[in-house]
Copies of this chain bind each other. A is one copy, B any other.
Amino acid sequence: MRASTRVQPKPPSRPRKPSSRTASPAAAPARKAPRQIRSRATVDAIVDAAARVLRQDGYDGTTTNRVAEVAGVSVGSLYQYFPNKEALVRELLERHDRAMWTVFTDQSTCAIGRPFAEAVPAVIDALFAAHLVDPQLHQVLHQQIPRVGALALLHATSVRSRAVVEGLLQARTEEHQRGDDVPTAALVVVESVEALIHASIALPPAQANAVQRHASELVLGYLGVARPGT
């Protein structure tokens, strides 16, 4: 006779404030892919502005309104392309990591075939070089971004460069002395080198260079590889 229909619109009907984290902000819908040329430019302007603001004001000083302002667009436009602040930062992070990764692979791949005592420093230098893509931004991204929360970030470059080092060590076990525990060795190498890189960012150029040289020696000594010149 009558439809037992019940209007049951999605309970909250519309999460006014997705709480910037209502459900799983990480899974927030990628909102919209810019199709026209104009919108692509807008997206770039926004991401660039985000980088600028992040560099200058740090993570806490970065507000979506400020980013939009610096980008020369309205907040509305920002939210047209990024469902929330986190998604914006994630996009920036991904771009940054992509750039770093490009530099790293460009410089390291050619070195892998060379003798171990040369390959290792080459890889380490490549890692140093990758961090020079945008050291200021890198610092903010890696030191200030909430390690907690939905984006307990990917640090793609770290992870992937560890994989590269692990592969290298695994493939040539007879050329070094850490074959008994390669995963730990890779961790030790990458973590210490990264620490030295981050430390050197804040150093005057001269000492930064010294640190970079020492980084190679640190690793070679650890791996039990005779240094080239010795």
Task: Give the interface of A toward B (CB within 8 A).
Answer: 1-22, 25, 55-61, 128, 131-132, 135-136, 139-140, 143-144, 146-150, 181, 183-185, 187-188, 191-192, 194-196, 199-205, 207-212, 214-215, 217-218, 221-222, 224
Contact = CB atoms under 8 A, between A and B. Distances in A.
19 contacts: A1-B132, A2-B135, A7-B58, A7-B144, A11-B150, A12-B19, A14-B57, A16-B17, A16-B21, A17-B19, A17-B20, A58-B147, A144-B147, A188-B196, A188-B215, A191-B192, A195-B195, A217-B222, A218-B221
Contacts of A6: 136, 202
B148 A3 contact: no
Contact of A148 (B58, B183, B205, B214): B58
Given A10-B58, A218-B218, A222-B222, 14 more contacts: A7-B58, A9-B57, A10-B57, A12-B21, A13-B58, A15-B21, A16-B17, A19-B22, A58-B147, A58-B148, A143-B143, A144-B148, A188-B211, A191-B192
